[in-house]
Every structure is written in C-alpha cells, then in structure tokens.
Amino acid sequence: MRPPLARDMFDELCPSGLLPLRFADKWAPLVLTCLTDGPRRFSELRVPLHRVTPRTLTRTLRALQRDGLITRAECPGRTPHVEYALTPLGRSLLEPLAAVCAWTREHWEELLRAREEHIAASPA
C-alpha cells in the first residue's frame, strides 16, 4: 500500500507557486518566443498572436512583467509607444522552453492520439 500524500506537500513556501510559466497559459511561452530577437510593440506582438484577444494579451504581458520575465518601456517621441523586452531572467527561460517545444514535436502524434481517444471515450 502506498503512503498517503502529505497535507503540506504544497505548502505556502512551495516553489510551484512561483512557476512563471503556467502550463495552462498557452500565450506566455508564445510571447516569450516573440521577444527572442529584441523588444516589440504590442501591435507587433498581435501579428503572430492574432488568435489572442487584446485583453488576454495585456493580462499575459502584465503577468510576465510581474514575474520579472519581461520589461515594459514607455518610449516617448513623435509617436509615443510602449515596448516589451525580455529580461535576463526571461531570456534564461528560452532554453527550457525550447526543450519543451522539442519534446512536444517528438510526442506530437502520441498527444493527438491520446486526446482523440479521450474525446471518443467521453459521453456526449
């Protein structure tokens, strides 16, 4: 018989609460990838991320900024605008993110098959 799980397994000091990339947040890794080559304006991010609503993109950017992964800089001038850029901490996530992407490419067929089997087995 297996031992029971500890009640304080994920206590308040558990580092899982600090995990900056929530695996359920499909937009955060995509935003980080968009910022790989340098700062981008909100409108530039909207081009490859056209499926995300502006509100959701704003929330994602704020969360990434809160976690110290990106910066938000107001750029004055003739046409004032805002630019987002990776911080050193955010840049350090690019390698693990690439590893997750590689794993996904390697297991793509298995993942799709599992989802299809789950949908087929679920009651309508």
User: What counts of helices (H) and strands (E) characterise the chain?
Assistant: 6, 3
More confident residue, 10 or 36: 36
How much is the average pLDDT of 91-98? 91
Residue 119: pLDDT over 90: yes
How much is the average pLDDT of 70-78? 93
Decide if 21 contacts 29 (C-beta within 8 A): yes
pLDDT of residue 71: 98
The CA distances from residue 2 to 5, 6, 10, 11, in Å, are 9, 12, 19, 21
pLDDT of residue 72: 97
Per residue in 24-64, pLDDT (tens digit) is 578 898 899 999 999 999 999 999 999 999 999 999 999 99
pLDDT of residue 14: 60
Domains of the chain in start order, with CATH, are 22-121 (1.10.10.10)
pLDDT of residue 105: 87
How much is the average pLDDT of 1-27? 66
pTM of the model: 0.78
